[in-house]
Amino acid sequence: MPSYLLRVELEDRPGSLGALAVALGSAGADILSLDVVERAAGLAVDDLVVDLPRGAMPDALITAAEKVDGVYVDSVRPHTGLLEAHRELELIDHIAAAGPKSNQLQVLVDEAPKVLRVGWCTVVRRTDSGPHRVVGSHGAPETQAADTPWLPLTHAEALDGSAGWVPQVWRDMDTTLAAAPLGDVDTAVVLGRPGGPVFRPSEVARLGYLAGIVATILR
């Protein structure tokens, strides 16, 4: 059965998640896992991995979920693999065991998309001749940014995906972006999420923590 990653906003109150589960079940969805992305001001943002019967349309998830009072569907995306907290620790372990720095960086960009739930990942460095892509994941766009005015970077942050420096093909795909310094202010790990959703503050913070740990390993 095909799996989907469903991001929802809902009221943070007893019973709201149960009502959502019942609604999704009525649409034939089987909830495999749930990950809390963010909680604040009486609202929760959750990521749910769900299976749908073959032939069922993912739009059915949106229709079912939004029948529940206080539920808004942020996005629905195809998904492979369960959301498990230990994936982040596994990524760090794989990087540490990868040997030379070039191999470690490749492991980072190859595995980070699954851990951080994005479409692609690159490491870029600012040089005197302009930005240089050090390494990129499978699926990273061939078209690269000719400028990175957000470098140097001192902390993790979401980037403006509509800014002039963003290649048009990225904008055409409505790519949301986030970046964090990787060891120094002129080098950054960049995440791209074609089609959204936007990066939540908790996701940006998570990227920053991960980049900080990886930078320590690379040293």
pLDDT > 60? residue 48? yes
Express as a percent the part of the chain with pLDDT over 90: 79
pTM of the full structure: 0.79
| pLDDT given at position 81 | 61
Indicate the CATH number for domain 86-218. Answer: 3.30.450.40
Q: For residue 151, which of 188, 99, 123, 178 has the smallest C-alpha distance?
A: 188
Residue 46 · residue 84 · CB < 8 Å: no
pLDDT digits (tens, 9 = 90+) for 90-138: 899 999 999 899 999 999 999 999 889 899 999 999 999 999 999 999 9
pLDDT mean over 191-203: 93
* Residue 84 pLDDT class (50, 70, 90 cuts): low
Task: Report the alpha-carbon distance of residue 136 to residue 182 in Å, rounded.
Answer: 14
Strands annotated E in the chain: 3-11, 30-40, 43-51, 72-78, 120-127, 130-136, 157-159, 176-181, 187-193
pLDDT digits (tens, 9 = 90+) for 145-192: 999 999 999 999 999 999 999 999 999 999 999 999 999 999 999 999
3-78 and 86-218: same fold? no
* Residue 34 pLDDT class (50, 70, 90 cuts): confident
Residue spans per domain, the chain = 3-78, 86-218
Residue 144 · residue 133 · CB < 8 Å: yes
pLDDT digits (tens, 9 = 90+) for 1-32: 788 999 999 998 888 999 999 999 999 999 98
Indicate the CATH number for domain 3-78. Answer: 3.30.70.260
| pLDDT given at position 29 | 93
Token pair 């982040």 is at which residue?
88
| pLDDT given at position 89 | 83
